[in-house]
Amino acid sequence: MAAHSRGHPAMREREFSPAGTSPYWWIRPCAGPILFLSLLFLFLFLFTAAAASAAAPEEEKFTEELLLRPLPDRKALAHFHFRSSAPPAASVGRHHHLFPKAISQLVKKYHISELELSFTQGRWNYEQWGGFDPMSTNNAKPPGVELWAVFDLPLSEIDATWKNLTHTLSGLFCASINFLESSTAFSAPRWGFKLNEGNLRYGALPREAVCTENLTPWLKLLPCRDKAGIASLLYRPSIYKGYYHSQKLKLRSSQSLGIILDQTLTVVLQPNTVSGEQLHSNHGQLQPNWSMRHLFNRKLSGKCLVSKSSRVFIEVDKGIVDNVNKSGSDLSWSNEFFVLSNSPDKLIKGQNHVEIQSSFLYVYDASNYTEEKPLDVGITWKLPLVWTCTPSPFHASRFLMGSGNERGSIALSFMSTNLHKQISGSPTDCSIKAVIFQVVPWYVKVYYHSLEIFIDGSRKTVSEVVDKIHVIPSEDKLLPGTLEMLLRFPCSMQSGTLTLDFDKGFLHIDEYPPDANQGFDIPSALVSFPEFSSARSYPEIDPVLGSPLLENFQEDSVVKSYTEVLLVPLTTPDFSMPYNVITFTCTVLALYFGSLLNALRRRIGEEERELKKTVVILKKWQLLASILYRKFVDELF
């Protein structure tokens, strides 16, 4: 046994250890217990400090920002942006201080790399509110619900995971997102929507209504909810009376960055102003004056205490900048055309991707304001000003052609805005690329071979315009149809139209919605222009500013726009006919069986005897009544 112990390497190492089994063999007890304890405490202090310094950058963060912008059609845009970030899960574990735990569990359970969910009421006006800026590119969403997700899973498990994800999100946000679980409601685009490796799923519910039931769980994901900070401005009656309302949740997850959750709310409101104050005697009509109190019926009384930064931006669009520069005035917070109610803390100049000055940002730090001194920033106009927002290269619109409940056609129209002339002059041999992504329900049977293209009124062959096309035909009650096309239009084109023929299918009576007579919706088509970027740069910005909102504006985003939702009338049965048939049938059966049972159970002999007995009894009663009557008359007279 001793020989075996001497032969074991660990035992040999223990034998040659100068101090036996103690890990601090180099500290000899003979030096004294005070020296030993001092060195031990020093070691523990250095170890704790090193661990704290290493864990310092790995902390959860929360920022809140608000951007206000006047619009050319006398409205105001308000964009709320909240970002919550969590470090990688290996260092933070299952506990969170600021980051919503429900989202963290969602990412881990379903292995989500990217996800975006939007609830939208109304439609973004690309002509009046802009189509070439980051706001319209990233925050203009189609009506209803739009959901897409990228999974970090094998392709064979993605569809089942998508179905479970829709049920989870449906319960989390009090919406009908679970209707997207059916294979007829979602698609797997390849490159038309977002370049992926087959691990992306996309679904839309155009008819989903948006209300406070969806906003309340969205606000619960914020650390301060709507009790403090910028979210306290979300007064429900003011938010939902706007012309456009879109709340979005977007998250990105990776092992190196952790989880980044962006929550945005974009609304277009009509300022509450006195019309008499907006008239100018010499130059016409002024833009409406507004402030936070006019837009939200509230003032900002400070920031959320746990937020790392809290800022309010007032953005002045390129059209206003050009008008002010032409007049020779400077773009200070008080100039010849307008004045801001509060002096800003900072002024930031923005440029678009072609190095042209595009906007001005006036920055306000919400941490400088309290309940005693709230922030009520607004804009007051001095002179009338007319401007337009930069549009996308083409205005895209979609409509239906044909009549009847048997067949029809889908038309996609493009109208040039001559944007290429402003950017690159007017070359005659250039072209503009456009990518179309369209999902069509299975009951709209599209004939993709019937594609026709017209440019400036003349018909073109498909090979002349279409560079790339990817089609997934629909299957009855199984899969929707998916169309992805890469088009190349000449720069000189002023108008173009694409048409596709389709037949209308028949549904089972159980497949009709409660309001089937209203029609069936075809989700919005997405049109993107890969050669045009909506990114902005801020050369004078301080890197220490750390604004997630401006970081999103600086990302290289492709210009894109959504078309209208199409309403297709299908052959609808008379749902009252089953009720009428059931009622009539039951009445006939009741009469038939009632008469039959009466005839079968009736006994004729017994009925005659009973009738005779009844007649005899009646006669006796009549005789008795007559006798009593005579007796009464005799006694009376």
- Report the distance separating Cα 498 and Cα 461, nearest Å: 11
- Report the distance separating Cα 69 and Cα 53, nearest Å: 42
- Report the distance separating Cα 529 and Cα 204, nearest Å: 22
* Two tokens, residue 274: 């006195």
- Report the distance separating Cα 563 and Cα 400, nearest Å: 13
Give yes or no for residue 597 having a pLDDT over 90. Answer: no
pLDDT tens digit string along 148-173?
Answer: 999 999 999 999 999 999 999 999 99
- Exposure pattern of 398-435 as b/e (b: 16+ CB <10 Å)? beeeeeeeeebbbbbbbebbebbeeeeeeeeeebbbbb
Pure H helices in 20-93: 33-55, 89-92
Q: Tell me whether strands 309-316 and 61-70 are parallel, antiparallel or unpaired.
A: parallel
Instruction: Using alpha carbons, select from 100, 341, 97, 367 the residue that is nearest to residue 228.
Output: 367
Residue 373: phi, psi to the nearest 5? -130, 75
Give yes or no for residue 540 having a pLDDT over 80. Answer: no
* Neighbouring C-beta atoms of residue 183, cutoff 10 Å: 15
* Two tokens, residue 90: 């290996």
pLDDT of residue 16: 38
Question: In the chain, what's the furthest Cα-to-Cα distance?
Answer: 152
Percentage of the chain exceeding pLDDT 70: 85
pLDDT tens digit string along 276-291?
Answer: 444 443 445 788 999 9
Q: Label residue 20 exposed, middle or buried (CB < 10 Å: 0-12, 13-18, 19+).
A: exposed
The dihedral through the CA atoms of 458, 463, 465, 469 has a sign that is positive
Q: Within 13 Å, how many C-alpha atoms sit on residue 268's CB side?
A: 22
Quote the pTM value. 0.82
pLDDT tens digit string along 299-317?
Answer: 999 999 999 999 999 999 8
Give yes or no for residue 14 having a pLDDT over 50. Answer: no
Compute the average pLDDT of residues 562-566: 95
Give 191-231 as a DSSP string. Answer: SSSS--SS-EEEEEETT----HHHHHHHHTTSSSTTTSSGG
Give 511-546 as a DSSP string. Answer: GS-TTGGG-EEEPPPEEEEEEEE--EE-TT--GGG-
Residue 404: phi, psi to the nearest 5? 90, 175
> Phi-psi region for residue 93, left (φ > 0), alpha (ψ -120 to 50) or beta?
left
* Two tokens, residue 213: 């039931």
Q: Within 13 Å, how many C-alpha atoms sit on residue 562's CB side?
A: 25
Domains of the chain plus CATH, in order, are 394-575 (2.60.40.740)
Taking a C-beta distance cutoff of 8 angstroms, is the pair 112, 200 a contact? no
Taking a C-beta distance cutoff of 8 angstroms, is the pair 523, 563 a contact? no
pLDDT tens digit string along 58-109?
Answer: 688 999 999 999 999 999 999 999 999 998 865 455 678 899 999 999 999 9
**Binning pLDDT at 50, 70 and 90, where does residue 637 land?**
low
Point out which residues pair with 562 in neighbouring strands.
526
pLDDT of residue 626: 86
